[in-house]
Amino acid sequence: MRKPSYTPQQEQEVTQLLKEPDLSYSDIAKLCDLKYEQVVSVNYKHRVRPLRPRRSQADMLTVSTPAVSDYDQIDQELQQVEARRQQLLKQKADLEICFIVEDGGNVSINGLNGHPLTAHYTQWLRFLRKNKGAELREFISQKFGVKGVANA
C-alpha cells in the first residue's frame, strides 16, 4: 500500500475544509499547500463530499436535436451556399484561356483545368514551328472519336 504524500495534520485540515461547500478542490489545495490530486485523494478516502458518478457511454453520446426553426435556418443557409457554389462554377467555366510567363522562361497556359499546362518557351516554339497544332487536333479526333475537333 502506498503511503500518502501528505501529513495527518494536512489530512485533517483538508477534511475540515472539504465540509465548506463554497471552497473548490483547487482553493483547498492552495490553502493547505497541497496538489489538487492530493485533496481529491483525501476526499476519496473520507468521502466528505459526494463523489461524481462515472459518466456512461450513453451519456457521452447523447446529442440534442435542434428545434424545427433551426432546421429552417440550416436549410436556408444550405441553399445560399449551393447558390454561391453554382455561381462560382459558372464563373470558372466562363474563364478564358490565358498565358502567363513564369521565372526561367516557362510559359503556362491557364484555364484548361485546375492546373496550368507549363513548358519552357523553347518547347512551345518547337511545337508551333512544326505546325503540330493541326496534328494534335487530328490525333484527338481519331483516337477519341470527337467530331468537330479539326474546326476548333
**16 within a domain of the structure (yes/no):** yes
Q: Does residue 26 lie in a domain region?
A: yes
Assessment of whether the complete model's pTM goes beyond 0.95: no
| Residue 64 resides in a domain | no
Structural domain that includes position 135: 98-144
The share of the chain scoring above pLDDT 70, in percent, equals: 79
Q: What is the pLDDT of residues 11-59, one digit of tens each?
A: 899 889 888 888 888 888 888 889 888 888 888 888 888 776 666 665 5
Residue 150 lies in a domain: no
Domain final residue pick, 16, 36, 52: 52
**75 within a domain of the structure (yes/no):** no
CA 29, CA 6: separation in Å to the nearest integer? 11
Which tens digit of pLDDT belongs to each residue from 51-93? 766 666 655 666 666 666 678 888 889 999 999 988 887 776 6
Looking at the structure of the chain, the number of domains it has is 2
